[in-house]
Structure 1
Amino acid sequence: MASSSSLPPSRRSVFDAAYIRAEFAAAGISPHFIPLIWKYVLQNPRCGDLDGVTSLPAAAYALLRQKFRPITSTLTTAAESRDGTTTKLLIRLQNGESIEAVVMRYDTRLGKYDGKPRLGGVRSTLCVSSQVGCKMGCRFCATGTMGFKSNLSSGEIVEQLVHATRYSQIRNVVFMGMGEPLNNYTALVEAIQVLTGSPFQLSPKRITVSTVGIIHSINKFNNDLPNINLAVSLHAPDQDIRCHIMPAARAFPLAKLMNSLQSYQNER
């Protein structure tokens, strides 16, 4: 089996949903085979090729070899916290840049509810990145000091979950890592649609997208991503203070942002 690092870098992630669907359609291959491919990679995250996927048409194997890679990113480091509750993943992208994703674990049995021990067990949340760097320039944020470098593809977003499943069964996903998710809107929507479909089957109610308040994207969020949670970081209740903390806030006045959020809430 060839290692993924030996494959041409021009090949795309199989999790780039729009691209693989378009290529399958052009080749006359049913899109119903795509979740089967995703399931294979999810169960075999270190696979170097896709020859092990069963029951595909012969034309699909040829297309996959020519244009796709099972995983385009590489997990380079996994750092565990001393108490074992978090695992920070350093992931190297195909273009040589690196991003971080963090697995966070919480034992729901801790504490009591109504005076009685809680039921449940350990649940894991994955914090994912959507960009390399960020153009928002928030003064308190380490990523903001990097400036903006590139958007992640939908496949690179999904691959963070694939890497994380090697360490924990992920129940929740939060877009609170590197980058402003709503500045990479198309890839964000596509990635979430993959995560809520087969084989990942994450509940929309367990996915949260955090934003500093990109108004034009908030205005279409409900329509494109129904039942997905939206979290907004205002940073301050005053527009002048917001602009001092986050210079990009000048483009998103607080009054207009609040109107947008009210409309968003009314549509829920």
Structure 2
Amino acid sequence: MATYRSVFDAAELRAQLNDAGINTKFMASIWKYVLQNPGCELGEIPDLPSSAYRLLRTKFKPFTSTVHSVFHSTDGVTTKLLIKLQNGAFVEAVIMTYDTRLGKYGGKPRLGGPRSTLCISSQVGCKMGCKFCATGTMGFKNNLTSGEIVEQLVHASLLTNIRNVVFMWHHFDTISCHVVSENDDDDGIYLLMGMGEPLNNYTALVEAIRVMTGSPFQLSPKRITVSTVGIIHAINKLHSDLPGLNLAVSLHAPVQEIRCQIMPSARAFPLEKLMTALQTYQKNSQQKIFIEYIMLDGMNDEEQHAHQLGKLLETFQVGCRCRGGNKCGLWRLDRAFLVVNLIPFNPIGSSSQFRTSSDQKVSDFQKILRGTYNIRTTVRKQMGQDISGACGQLVVNLPDKRTRDLTDIEDLRI
């Protein structure tokens, strides 16, 4: 059976059009028509050169993936899409709706209304093998193409208007965390995630985001968040390739020893080098960095851990916000551009070796970071647990003989 490429696979479509001598300006009009007519055939797109129709019919499809199932949570705000790929594998994407009027700014109710955020998968399974994560138990099957990544946005857009998109590392599946912006008129950032480590599929990630921020999608880069376990070499080039994005880092421990115990891949990304990479990213991008921290009872949730984390993050700096921008050469500590998200642990099965931290421990941890270190700290609200869409629960429970074992630490690129 012939294998077709997604029409949203920008690099392949551009290359094929160039080879056929067709102007690539038609790419945006092709995408716009498919968005407006999701059940169309590519031959129905108007005003294309005749050679373009032949090319599209033989090489591409409007969609190479299909929505297999849709699950709605009882809380009414979470929708999970089970998406079947062309190769028979499945990934999950999650839509969450959050009413910004429920938040506060400066102690007063915020303006706004409902906002939908899409959490996108970048891989089938994951190589990282984190011990608290369901997705990690799947092993790694394959990377998604850029077209398969973009198609998740298209599928979701047929259900609701998507304002924010997040590529997040595998264990924060459908947890909503609304982070209030410094600007009254800003709607804030929502943190969600899908399956896979986005920066382990770097080329496809970059290409997909460039499509999403271009015509006809026109998503603002500041509405897109990329989360990572801490792939240092990819973080070092992310800002130059995709300026303006938000970065979220799955830290989960304030010291390297504990981090390696719960995240085996952390051995490839030493904490000291990771912090240096994050400081450089923050200085260059002037964007917020979100620190993700899953609360595990007795493992990383004691007061000493809160103080260790606070001291670790004290070193972060951002450029001054004077009229001269960075030209004045002055730098100051400003941890308003650093946000810690405390994440309640979701047991991923009866065999889980971890327990959920008590509400009191989470509250005490937050108070130390806020009160002693003046670090903005939020606690994620659990949503979508009844459809296995909450933190640590995202895993496709379908048999697949093509699953590969988790990557050995020696095979991870530093």
- Fold conserved (TM > 0.5)? yes
Find the aligned partners of 1:179 and 1:113 in 2 and give their Cα distance. 33
Find the aligned partners of 2:135 and 2:53 in 1 and give their Cα distance. 39
Find the aligned partners of 1:255 and 1:92 in 2 and give their Cα distance. 40
The amino acid of 1:137's aligned partner reads: G
Q: Give 1:46 shift.
A: 2.8
- The equivalent residue for 1:256 is 273
Identity of aligned pairs, percent?
Answer: 72
Kindly indicate whether residue 236 of structure 2 is the aligned counterpart of residue 243 of structure 1: no
- The equivalent residue for 1:15 is 8
The amino acid of 2:31's aligned partner reads: W
1:192-215 per-residue CA deviation (whole Å, 9 max, x = no partner) reads 000000000000000000000000
TM-score of the pair, normalised by structure 1: 0.94
The amino acid of 2:70's aligned partner reads: A
Paired residues for 1:16-31 under 5 Å: 16-31=9-24
- The equivalent residue for 2:35 is 42
Find the aligned partners of 2:233 and 2:130 in 1 and give their Cα distance. 20
Q: Give 1:262 shift.
A: 1.2
Give the secondary-structure state (helix, strand or coil) at the position aligned to 1:124.
strand
Find the aligned partners of 1:150 and 1:57 in 2 and give their Cα distance. 35
Q: Give 1:112 shift.
A: 5.4
Q: Give 1:113 shift.
A: 4.8
Report the CA distance shift for 1:116/1:183 in structure 2 as closer, same or farther (over 3 A). Answer: closer
Find the aligned partners of 2:225 and 2:28 in 1 and give their Cα distance. 23
Paired residues for 1:172-211 under 5 Å: 172-176=164-168, 177-211=194-228
Report the CA distance shift for 1:148/1:112 in structure 2 as closer, same or farther (over 3 A). Answer: closer
Find the aligned partners of 1:82 and 1:60 in 2 and give their Cα distance. 46
**1:210/1:230 contact within 8 Å kept:** yes
Kindly indicate whether residue 111 of structure 2 is the aligned counterpart of residue 119 of structure 1: yes
Give the secondary-structure state (helix, strand or coil) at the position aligned to 1:193.
helix
1:159-180 per-residue CA deviation (whole Å, 9 max, x = no partner) reads 0000001111000001121000
Give the secondary-structure state (helix, strand or coil) at the position aligned to 2:13.
helix
- The equivalent residue for 1:4 is none
Q: Give 1:265 shift.
A: 1.3
- Alignment RMSD: 1.3
Give the secondary-structure state (helix, strand or coil) at the position aligned to 1:75.
strand
**1:78/1:89 contact within 8 Å kept:** yes
- The equivalent residue for 2:359 is none
Report the CA distance shift for 1:111/1:138 in structure 2 as closer, same or farther (over 3 A). Answer: closer
Give the secondary-structure state (helix, strand or coil) at the position aligned to 2:216.
coil
Kindly indicate whether residue 239 of structure 2 is the aligned counterpart of residue 222 of structure 1: yes
Report the CA distance shift for 1:89/1:190 in structure 2 as closer, same or farther (over 3 A). Answer: same
- Between Structure 1 and Structure 2, how many residues are aligned? 260
Report the CA distance shift for 1:37/1:252 in structure 2 as closer, same or farther (over 3 A). Answer: same
Find the aligned partners of 1:72 and 1:232 in 2 and give their Cα distance. 31
Find the aligned partners of 1:154 and 1:234 in 2 and give their Cα distance. 27
Give the secondary-structure state (helix, strand or coil) at the position aligned to 2:163.
strand
**1:9/1:94 contact within 8 Å kept:** no
> Where do 5+ consecutive residues of structure 1 fail to align?
1-7
The amino acid of 1:170's aligned partner reads: I
Give the secondary-structure state (helix, strand or coil) at the position aligned to 2:43.
coil
Paired residues for 1:62-141 under 5 Å: 62-110=54-102, 113=105, 117-141=109-133
**1:80/1:86 contact within 8 Å kept:** yes
> Where do 5+ consecutive residues of structure 2 fail to align?
169-193, 286-414
Find the aligned partners of 1:229 and 1:112 in 2 and give their Cα distance. 21
* The structure with more radius of gyration: 2
Say which of 147, 155, 170 aligns to 1:155: 147
Q: Give 1:221 shift.
A: 0.5
- Give the ranges of 4+ consecutive aligned residues of structure 1 lying more than 6 Å apart after TM superposition: none
Report the CA distance shift for 1:112/1:234 in structure 2 as closer, same or farther (over 3 A). Answer: closer
- The equivalent residue for 2:230 is 213
Q: Give 1:116 shift.
A: 5.8
Find the aligned partners of 1:111 and 1:148 in 2 and give their Cα distance. 38
Give the secondary-structure state (helix, strand or coil) at the position aligned to 2:265.
helix
Give the secondary-structure state (helix, strand or coil) at the position aligned to 1:236.
coil
Give the secondary-structure state (helix, strand or coil) at the position aligned to 2:219.
coil
The amino acid of 1:40's aligned partner reads: Y
**1:134/1:180 contact within 8 Å kept:** yes
Find the aligned partners of 2:31 and 2:242 in 1 and give their Cα distance. 21
Q: Give 1:147 shift.
A: 0.8
